[in-house]
């Protein structure tokens, strides 16, 4: 699993996902819908890798918002893509992440901003993010903030 | 290191040669029953044929420019779960004609040994196809020879 779940400390999470034959459309590039699927798969690996150690790798959560910029196509010469995840904001019931999708050559192909909400399926309502998860997200968020400050200042 | 139930890539002696691909399962391959959906399984099997037949330097790479499925039979004998990935798919040829071949596939979870029955077995008939003329075409000698290398004398 080393190629799929590569985690670097508590900073930016990065993983490698396989690009499938069926992901390409008639333009010879990955269809736009598939980027949402890559982003979802990366979030699953992120959650398992970061929340798993606290027994919260299966924390029920749902997508509240997805914003995506398609910057360049993923072409047939990419048999895999890398996805990076940075935590941008941690709220009471929700958190916001930035996901960046790279092709096999390391070029940025898509950037997403996603809001996730902790969820109780039995009542179909948002719930507070459990403390263990909040700590992990806060740590990742602070690391991101420090890195951003360092790069601009 | 990943624990796997058997060899990957090319294995087996001539007359019993097999290609085994390891294919990651996506969260979105699952359905309401928490297992890989039957239709998604066909996509995973399709994906397994890419490293077998369309890898750079493989004589059958030319088939990537046009090949069509003309028959497909899938037997689902067990479940595949997300946690079973990357699944292992063993492939060989049951028959190789002048313009079509019959491919066999066995799907197992990552750690399921080859001696255990597969969760899914699939038989696919695939024909070479010329996209420009929209007509079937015959295999080249190189394509056919490569496929014959995987033909089993006793294709059970």
Q: What percent of chain A has pLDDT over 90?
A: 68
Chain A contacts in chain B segment 66-125 (CB below 8 A) = none
In-domain check, residue A132: yes
pLDDT surpasses 60 at B133: yes
Number of folded domains that form chain A: 1
In a domain, A110, yes or no: yes
Q: Is A5 part of any domain?
A: no
Q: What is the pTM of this model?
A: 0.88
pLDDT tens digits along B54-102: 999 999 999 999 999 999 999 999 999 999 999 999 999 999 999 999 9
Residues 12-31 of B with CB under 8 A from A: 23-24, 26-28
State the ipTM, two decimals: 0.88
Instruction: For residue A2, tell me if it sits in a domain.
Output: no
- Residues of B with Cβ-Cβ distance to A44 under 8 angstroms: 27
Q: What is the 3-state secondary structure (H, E, C) of B11-55?
A: ECCCCCCEEEEEECCCHHHECCCCCECHHHHHHHHHHHHHHHHCC
- What are the two backbone dihedrals, phi and then psi, of residue B49, each rounded to the nearest 5 degrees? -70, -20
User: Chain A: residue nearest B65 by CA?
Assistant: A28
Is the separation of the CB atoms in A95 and A113 below 8 Å?
Answer: no
The contacts of residue B52 (CB under 8 Å, 6+ apart) are B19, B21, B58, B91
Query: Per mean pLDDT, which range of A4-18, B57-71, B115-129 is the poorest?
Result: A4-18
Q: In A, which residues are within 8 Å of B23 by CB distance? A: 18
- How big is chain B by its Cα radius of gyration, in Å? 16
Neighboring chain A residues of B28 at a CB cutoff of 8 Å: 37, 40-41
A16 touches chain B (CB under 8 A): no
Residue A107, in any domain of the structure: yes
Subunit contact A17:B24, Cβ cutoff 8 A: yes
Please tell me the least confidently modeled range out of A10-24, A69-83, B16-30. Answer: A10-24
Contact by Cβ (8 Å): A2, A132 = no
Residue B64's φ and ψ, nearest 5 degrees, are: -65, -25
- Minimal CA separation from A4 to chain B, in Å: 9
Query: Residue B155's pLDDT is what?
Result: 54
The CATH code of the domain that includes A141 is 3.10.129.10
Of B77, B90, B89, give the one whose Cα is nearest residue B35: B77
8 Å CB contact between A114 and A43: yes
Q: Domain residues for A120?
A: 13-152
Partners of residue A37 in chain B, C-beta under 8 Å: 26, 28
- Evaluate if residue A153 carries a pLDDT over 70: no
Q: Which fold would CATH assign to domain B9-148?
A: Thiol Ester Dehydrase; Chain A (3.10.129)
Q: Which of A75, A131, A74 minimizes the C-alpha distance to A101?
A: A74
Helix (H) / strand (E) element for A62: namely: strand A61-70
- For residue B87, CA distances in Å to B36, B66, B134 come to 11, 26, 34
- A102 falls within a domain: yes
Which of B2, B23, B47 is facing A1, going by the closest CB pair? B2
Judge whether A126 and A94 are in contact, CB under 8 Å: yes
> Residue A8 falls within a domain, yes or no?
no
């Amino acid at each position: 699993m080393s190629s799929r779940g590569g985690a670097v400390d508590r900073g930016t999470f990065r993983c490698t996902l396989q690009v499938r034959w069926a992901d390409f459309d008639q333009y010879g590039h990955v269809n736009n819908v598939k980027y949402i699927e890559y982003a979802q798969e990366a979030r699953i690996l992120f959650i398992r890798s970061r929340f798993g150690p606290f027994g919260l790798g299966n924390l029920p959560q749902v997508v509240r918002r997805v914003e995506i910029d398609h910057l360049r196509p993923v072409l047939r010469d990419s048999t895999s893509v890398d996805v990076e995840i940075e935590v941008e904001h941690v709220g009471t019931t929700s958190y916001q992440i930035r996901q960046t999708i790279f092709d096999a050559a390391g070029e940025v192909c898509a950037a997403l901003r996603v809001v996730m909400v902790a969820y109780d399926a039995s009542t179909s309502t948002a719930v507070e993010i459990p403390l263990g998860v909040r700590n992990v997200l806060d740590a990742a968020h602070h690391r991101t903030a420090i890195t951003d400050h360092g790069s601009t200042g | 290191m990943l624990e796997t139930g058997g060899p990957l890539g090319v294995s087996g002696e001539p007359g019993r040669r097999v290609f085994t691909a390891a294919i990651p399962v996506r969260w979105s391959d699952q359905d309401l029953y928490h297992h890989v959906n039957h239709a998604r399984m066909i996509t995973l099997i399709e994906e397994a044929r890419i490293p077998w037949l369309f890898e750079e330097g493989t004589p059958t790479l030319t088939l990537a420019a046009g090949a069509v499925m003309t028959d497909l039979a899938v037997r689902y004998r067990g479940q595949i779960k997300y946690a079973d990935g990357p699944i292992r798919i063993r492939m060989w040829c049951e028959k190789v004609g002048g313009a079509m071949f019959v491919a066999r596939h066995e799907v197992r979870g990552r750690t399921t040994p080859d001696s255990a029955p597969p969760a899914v077995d699939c038989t696919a008939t695939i024909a070479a196809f010329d996209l420009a003329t929209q007509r079937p075409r015959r295999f080249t000698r190189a394509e056919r020879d490569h496929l014959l290398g995987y033909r089993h004398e006793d294709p059970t």
